[in-house]
Structure 1
């Protein structure tokens, strides 16, 4: 049991730790947590070699506890499960995935009945109920049924995007799609094609080892997609991570489009036909705030982690919520990040105004903005001490500029008089401290990151 811990987005571990007996304990904990619910439970899984087997283990434990279980016929994206939970009134769902982690990892997360990420009180309940499976008499077992998770999500995605876009078809738009050998293949590309786009497919074959590259849609891993778009005829490039809950965008002029700039462009596009505040994490760009202010809207800032974004979206009736790592959701959808739906929204935005032109316009209107981050090694058991000591070491000036405010929603974010900022926070998934900076130029960002590292490194 000590090896099982639900962190920022479920439990993930290497396969020497992520074993069938422990997975069955998670299944029993979820069954206990859901005790008294009559609705079925969904179980989905990503494209890893071991994922189908782990999903079947979970399904059998849940069925032996009296739950009917819906299981897809093949690996499917996390957001399809989240939508199915809300759309079909399921009791909840379990997703077997390690998302963007390398192939030697796997993981599992629980999604409650609203389709939004599980908050700590739920994951703490599951952890408290970890136990060996306790099957009911066989006559009381539920059923396990293979189910289509694609069609209802696709229909909903088309309907929702039509509410935001003037043009409901993507005829004459060419989109290059990179599945990174993950679960978005045959889903995101087909959603785009179903809207009329001409889709050029890259890495859309299943490879349980993801071709030797972690399915993380970063600039480092999307060089082929960027070259394909910049040297070819595609108007837009889109990539999903391993379980397709996040996306990255590539454009002809910029190549890899920084997720912060995409968030700003997305919010600007949505505000053309709708209204409402934006929710962003503490590590996400202030450019979103400038766009909101120009439209008479507000912005809510949260700690890092989409569960906090989702909670704030519910509390504020937000139009959009997102984070700088490429996870987004919009009003009218479940409050879970969805790289499949967002691919269609990105294409619709491109159709109405090329993203390169929209970003150029926004930067002209609101000022240049750049962001980057670094990591400082720090053992998990030392993070609390370092942050406690950092509180007493926070300077009045950073890189020569006075500090105007300090935000403590997640670590320490020093906001400078110019609007630039420096953030230090603990990673929820790795033994490091993250140091982020945003400013009006790349040179200023580099200076802020240097100042941040000089501040943190001596404390580790």
Structure 2
């Protein structure tokens, strides 16, 4: 408290200063000097006001991840919602974000708040709002939340709601197994190495795999709020132990989840770490073996998905980066699978949201049906190989719009020796070239950077495209 009795934060600003709260690509995340109890309560009040304005007086779930501070922040949110007349369901343990989102749809709740900073380091926390449909909140909603942030305004105590602790994990795992048609011995004979990265997938993803009959080798499934000193992000460079377990022959398949288990990383014996673009392609191919439907992918995700879709007489919808746009397009098109190049995928009929637990089961089911190494070889033989990479160019947030505008005024006719065929401006500029390769330049939604992506049939061509992209962007910053 300061000398006037007003709350202050360690960064020197007022702890109840709403200007520090900004809902980005997937909720509000900040370091713990800014992510304070007072500001979390303001988010809870904004959600209560939003639900009241929408005529949603019902029950709200408040979930939380495995971070040391998450349960406490969840309780602050629960108290704020209760003081506004809402009953609240609080999970009895930390749990995956998709488990909370599914609970919203399964119990017909008014919505949910999830306390998580996903794959960020432990000095961060965050909160996201999940509407009644279980999909990510669109900007029309999060913009309204930002605009109405205020200190809690409780009703008379006689009108307060109640808090009940519930088992979220058990019913969720039951549903996943039933949804995929997996029974006790369907994965018998399959050994899966599972790396929870100390996140909320521990005791959930491994439990689901075991119930389907798989033998599970556990890595980092103990409770450690520091995540072992590394951010819980299932990228190749953070999964060396998992990769070794699989490539050394200790397991048929490796799967990992991020901190809140809405994303997945996969390892196959010969392939090693499976690039998320290839994972999208092989999972879509597997689903198309028994179901029909198109796909939705972000603008930064591989065209190889399109080739698989075309071979099955299906179509693909391309969206801006951010799973909220994928989810919206899945609703509009009825797509079978939606995904992005960061390892987040949603499947029709389950949840229009990322679910790394479901995808771990789906990857295991795909491996049992046809080893992933063989499936990847078959897909490459049929549709060609792809390589993709990205680089970042430092760019202050207040320069991003000018850079995009400047690029739009000076788009070249040729890039890295190939003629420009067409340009997609759904998110920045995706320059499609006559040789079948592409270059994408877009502003980051989370950092002061411009992102430059490229895809081609070989790594050398990708490197040349990225160099050309950097040369386009840097003079404009």
Q: Deviations over 1:211-257 (max 9, x none)?
A: 11000110110111101111132110000000000000011111110
Give the deviation of 1:338 after TM superposition.
Answer: 0.2
Query: Where has structure 1 moved over 2 Å in runs of 4 or more?
Result: 165-168
Partner of 1:137: 156
Partner of 1:99: 118
In the alignment, the residues of structure 2 paired with residue 47 and residue 207 of structure 1 have an alpha-carbon distance, to the nearest angstrom, of 8
Give the deviation of 1:115 after TM superposition.
Answer: 0.2
In the alignment, the residues of structure 2 paired with residue 198 and residue 240 of structure 1 have an alpha-carbon distance, to the nearest angstrom, of 18
Partner of 2:210: 193
Give the deviation of 1:37 after TM superposition.
Answer: 2.2
In the alignment, the residues of structure 1 paired with residue 290 and residue 248 of structure 2 have an alpha-carbon distance, to the nearest angstrom, of 33
> 1:168 and 1:395, CA in 2 relative to 1: closer, same or farther beyond 3 A?
farther
Partner of 1:339: 356
Residues matched between the structures, number: 458
Corresponding residue SS for 1:158: helix
Q: Aligned to 1:269, which of 279, 286, 294?
A: 286
In the alignment, the residues of structure 1 paired with residue 295 and residue 230 of structure 2 have an alpha-carbon distance, to the nearest angstrom, of 33
Q: Aligned to 1:72, which of 91, 98, 114?
A: 91
Give the deviation of 1:334 after TM superposition.
Answer: 1.2
- Aligned ranges for residues 220-299 of structure 1 at < 5 Å? 220-299=237-316
Partner of 2:81: 62
Give the deviation of 1:393 after TM superposition.
Answer: 2.1
**TM-score of the superposed pair, with normalisation by structure 2:** 0.95
In the alignment, the residues of structure 2 paired with residue 417 and residue 98 of structure 1 have an alpha-carbon distance, to the nearest angstrom, of 41
In the alignment, the residues of structure 2 paired with residue 332 and residue 167 of structure 1 have an alpha-carbon distance, to the nearest angstrom, of 22
Corresponding residue SS for 2:29: strand
Q: Aligned to 1:203, which of 215, 220, 242?
A: 220
Q: Deviations over 1:111-137 (max 9, x none)?
A: 000000001111112112211000111
Question: Cα RMSD between the aligned structures?
Answer: 1.1
Pair 1:4 & 2:4 matched: no
Q: Is the 8 A contact 2:394 2:448 kept in 1?
A: yes
In the alignment, the residues of structure 2 paired with residue 119 and residue 434 of structure 1 have an alpha-carbon distance, to the nearest angstrom, of 22
Structure 1: where are the runs of 5+ without partners?
A: none
Q: Is the 8 A contact 1:161 1:168 kept in 2?
A: no
In the alignment, the residues of structure 2 paired with residue 232 and residue 455 of structure 1 have an alpha-carbon distance, to the nearest angstrom, of 45
Q: Deviations over 1:111-166 (max 9, x none)?
A: 0000000011111121122110001111111011111111221111111112xx89
Give the deviation of 1:431 after TM superposition.
Answer: 1.1
Q: Is the 8 A contact 2:99 2:172 kept in 1?
A: yes
Partner of 2:62: 43
> 1:115 and 1:403, CA in 2 relative to 1: closer, same or farther beyond 3 A?
same
In the alignment, the residues of structure 1 paired with residue 342 and residue 208 of structure 2 have an alpha-carbon distance, to the nearest angstrom, of 23
> Which one scores higher on RCO, CA 8 angstroms, separation ≥ 6?
1
Q: Deviations over 1:402-430 (max 9, x none)?
A: 01010000000000112110001111111
